Amino acid sequence: MKRIGLIIGLIVLLVLAGIFYYRYYFVFGDGTKAGTMNYFVHKGYVFKTYEGRLIQSGIRTPTQGTIQSNEFMFSVTNQRVADQLNKSAGAYLELHYKEYLHTLPWRGVSVFVVDSVMSVRPVTPVQP
């Protein structure tokens, strides 16, 4: 009887571990976003995380009469990437990100986590 209880306990534990992995560590998708960085901060009460916002150029909506946000809110976990973004304030950036299903406190407040900066171009004002 103890052996059956142990086997059922191990199966339940493995199922719970799989569900936890799927909800919090499974990469749902990845891609790139480009735009001008609006802000980039290091904040948090217990877990200090890097959070940023990228303003994408143009607003296009798939259906007429609706409004689509052109802001991309993201988190950064890598210190090297965070330093590079801190130095690139106001520049036109191309960022590679991973999308998770849910957030974790030490990973940031966004499901989008930027893992690399693909390119940085300074923004030059348009001359009339």
Q: Is residue 8 part of a domain?
A: no
Q: Is residue 20 part of a domain?
A: no
State yes or no: pLDDT of 61 exceeds 60.
no
For residue 56, give the CATH number of its domain.
2.40.50.140
> 24 CB contacts (<8 Å, ≥6 apart)?
100, 101, 102, 104
State yes or no: pLDDT of 84 exceeds 70.
yes
Provide the sign of the torsion angle of the four alpha carbons 17, 23, 28, 34, taken in this order: negative
Q: Is residue 11 part of a domain?
A: no
Q: Please tell me whether the overall predicted TM-score, pTM, comes out greater than 0.75 for this model.
A: yes
* Residue indicated by tokens 């799927």: 22
Q: Is residue 99 part of a domain?
A: yes
Q: Is residue 19 part of a domain?
A: no
For 97-110, what is each residue's pLDDT tens digit? 999 999 999 898 99
114 has which bridge partners? Answer: 76, 97
Q: Is residue 94 part of a domain?
A: yes
35: left (phi over 0), alpha (psi -120 to 50) or beta: left
Number of separate domains in the chain: 1
- For residue 106, the enclosing domain spans 28-121
Provide the sign of the torsion angle of the four alpha carbons 18, 24, 25, 26, taken in this order: positive
Q: Is residue 58 part of a domain?
A: yes
